[in-house]
Every structure is written in structure tokens, then in C-alpha cells.
């Protein structure tokens, strides 16, 4: 109960736009997940093995990930014994508490590694179609709003229209884009971008990369080459390698994360289109099984709908009705 009360006290009465974005962005997952949870709780009044079996199926169906689900079920069984929970209604706050713990393993690791007195270089990787270029544009807007000078590098020279798409974003947010012709060497684009950003004392350089080549091996070699060029010019760069994943692809996003993680030392994940899926549990699978922090999430189509990931905001967005109902019951008691 105390965990739900904490969430209610923190978020329910806030008029904070970020809280609203998480609530709205999580609505599809919340309606699907909570609807099934309520049905499960209605069928089982007491906590028993059959209840846990169905809960396991429900969580796997929400793309939470098999490994994470099995861990979670074991932890819940331990808590049931420790707290002597008999009624399933007493388990809802425990489930949300455990989910929050798994999402927030190390506390502040969702913050970007920004260089205080030097240029920050952020490399974006990910397959085509996940919203990578759009995410770069939105992040450029975010940094501009913070008063930082920004430049973008059009390193995806292979996808038709990728350079033009980044240029459109550059015009929208008022940011210079360093580019070459389609089909050019991406590493050469990165070299030009770093030199230009240095000469203009830019605060943040955002680098787009290819999402597809003839095969996976070629793509990973190309990304390694791009990284080497950047680090040769700026020894500690790139300061972040952000993998952009589409939340609507579910477990396919997990396999992409594993592939890119092995090749490019991914430091964080940006999960796009979270508002467009009923399987937002993929956030948990990625965070828990890959141990890569989810740093930002896409919660809509607007320019400011890219938001820093917050585990408590996520859990509140997922369990909003339960938080409010449980807290009201507690207050009445």
C-alpha cells in the first residue's frame, strides 16, 4: 500500500506535463494490461499456484520477457510468504513495486553523459524504420530549448531520402546539418562534422548512422569505422551511443538490442512509439535482461514528446487507476 501511496502523493495531484505525457503515452498498454489484471484478480480471490501461472502468461503476453517474468514470479512468491499475503488484491502494489525496482536498477543512469566544458558527441544507431532520424530531430530541439548550440551529421548516406529528412529537421529546429552526397562514405561525413562542430564551438553534435547495408556484418563494420573516426578526433567520444528501438516491434526490439549491443557498446536505449503499443512491457525486458538503461522514450508525435525515461513515471502510467483506487481506499480506512 505504501508504494502506491508514494506514487499517488508524487504524481496524482501534479499538473506536470511530463506526468500527463506518461499517463497518455502508456494508455494502450495500461488498458490492455490492467484489463487483463483485473480479470485475473476477479477470477482468483486467493493467491495460489494457478494464479501465479496465469499471471506469468499475462506478463509474457505484455512482452515483459520470459527471463524477467520468471524472476518476477519467484520474487512475488517470496514476498507473499514474507508478508503473509492471502488475498490477490494485496498483491497489486507488490507487483508494481517489483516492476519499479527492475526498471530503476542503478537510480540516475537515465541521464545522458554530457560534457560540461567541451563538446558532447552522441551517436545514434538502429535499423531503418524505428524513428531514428525523427528522434535525432526531437533531441536537437530539446537541446536548443536548453540553450545549447547543436549540429547534426547526416551519416546515413545509404537510405534514400535520409539526408533530406535530417535536413528538414534541421530547418524545423534551426540546426546546421553536415552532409555529403548520397552513397558517400559515412566515416568521411563524421570527420567533416567533427571538424565543423569544433570550429564553431558547438555544444552537442548528434550523429545519424546507417540502419541497413547488404548484410548485418557490413553494417556493424561500418558503425565501428564511424566510431573510430570520431574517437580519433575526440579521444573520449562518442560520449553516448544511443540505440533507437521501436516499442511496437516487441521481442524483435530485444534481438536488435543484442545485435547492436555486441557491435557498438551501446550506452543507452531510446524507445520510440511507446504510445502506439499495448505491449509496453518490452521496457522491462530490455532494462532487466540486457542491463542497458532506457534513457528516453517517445510518447507521441509532437516535437516535445521525447521524454527522459523515469521508472516511477512509467509505473504510475501503467498502474494509474490502481494507484488512485488503492490510495482512496487507504484514506477511507
209 is in an annotated binding site: yes
131 is in an annotated binding site: yes
**pLDDT single digits (tens) 190-248:** 999 999 999 999 999 999 998 875 467 788 888 889 999 999 999 999 999 999 999 88
For residue 331, the model assigns a pLDDT of: 47
68 is in an annotated binding site: no
Grid coordinates standing for 326?
488503492
For residue 110, what are the CA distances in angstroms to 91, 171, 267, 294, 310? 28, 29, 10, 6, 8
118 is in an annotated binding site: no
For residue 19, the model assigns a pLDDT of: 73
**pLDDT single digits (tens) 100-156:** 777 766 455 578 999 988 999 999 999 888 999 999 999 999 999 999 999 999 999
Bin 122: left if φ > 0, else alpha if -120 < ψ < 50, else beta. Answer: beta
Contact 283, 294 (CB under 8 A): yes
210 is in an annotated binding site: yes
128 is in an annotated binding site: yes
Question: pLDDT class for 180, splitting at 50, 70, 90?
Answer: very high
273 is in an annotated binding site: yes
**pLDDT single digits (tens) 278-294:** 777 788 888 877 878 88
Cα–Cα nearest to 245, from 154, 140, 135? 135
pLDDT at 64 over 90: no
130 is in an annotated binding site: yes
For residues 28 and 194, what is the distance between their CA atoms, to the nearest angstrom?
A: 41
274 is in an annotated binding site: yes
Q: Which residues contact 25 (CB under 8 A, 6 or more apart)?
A: 274, 275, 297, 299, 300, 305, 317
pTM value?
A: 0.86
| Average model confidence (pLDDT) across the chain | 84
For residue 321, the model assigns a pLDDT of: 65
127 is in an annotated binding site: yes
Amino acid at each position: 500500500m505504501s508504494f502506491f501511496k508514494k506514487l499517488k502523493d508524487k504524481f496524482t495531484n501534479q499538473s506536470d506535463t511530463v506526468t500527463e505525457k506518461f499517463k497518455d503515452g502508456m494508455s494502450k498498454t495500461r488498458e490492455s494490461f490492467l484489463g487483463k489484471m483485473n480479470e485475473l484478480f476477479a477470477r482468483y480471490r486467493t493467491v495460489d499456484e494457478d494464479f501465479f501461472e496465469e499471471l506469468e502468461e499475462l506478463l509474457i503476453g505484455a512482452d515483459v520477457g520470459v527471463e524477467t517474468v520468471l524472476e518476477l514470479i519467484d520474487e512475488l512468491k517470496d514476498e507473499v510468504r514474507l508478508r503473509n499475503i492471502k488475498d490477490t488484491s494485496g498483491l497489486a502494489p507488490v507487483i508494481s513495486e517489483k516492476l519499479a525496482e527492475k526498471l530503476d536498477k542503478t537510480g540516475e543512469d537515465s541521464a545522458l553523459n554530457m560534457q560540461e566544458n567541451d563538446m558532447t558527441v552522441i551517436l545514434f544507431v538502429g535499423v531503418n524504420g524505428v524513428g531514428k532520424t525523427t528522434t535525432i530531430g526531437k533531441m536537437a530541439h530539446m537541446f536548443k530549448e536548453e540553450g545549447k548550440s547543436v549540429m547534426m551529421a547526416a551519416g546515413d548516406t545509404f537510405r534514400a531520402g535520409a539526408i533530406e529528412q535530417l535536413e528538414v529537421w534541421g530547418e524545423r529546429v534551426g540546426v546546421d546539418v553536415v552532409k555529403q552526397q548520397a552513397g558517400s562514405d559515412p566515416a568521411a561525413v563524421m570527420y567533416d562534422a567533427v571538424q565543423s562542430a569544433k570550429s564553431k564551438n558547438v555544444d552537442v553534435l548528434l550523429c545519424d548512422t546507417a540502419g541497413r547495408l547488404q548484410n548485418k556484418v557490413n553494417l556493424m563494420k561500418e558503425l565501428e569505422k564511424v566510431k573510430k573516426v570520431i574517437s580519433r578526433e575526440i579521444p573520449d567520444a562518442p560520449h553516448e551511443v544511443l540505440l533507437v528501438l521501436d516499442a511496437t516491434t516487441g521481442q524483435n526490439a530485444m534481438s536488435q538490442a543484442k545485435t547492436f549491443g555486441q557491435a557498438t557498446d551501446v550506452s543507452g536505449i531510446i524507445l520510440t512509439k511507446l504510445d502506439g503499443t499495448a505491449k509496453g512491457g518490452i521496457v522491462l525486458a530490455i532494462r532487466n535482461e540486457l542491463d542497458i538503461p532506457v534513457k528516453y522514450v517517445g510518447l507521441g508525435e509532437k516535437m516535445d514528446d521525447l521524454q527522459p525515461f523515469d521508472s516511477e513515471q512509467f509505473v504510475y502510467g501503467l498502474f494509474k487507476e490502481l494507484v488512485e483506487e488503492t490510495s482512496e481506499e487507504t484514506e477511507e480506512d
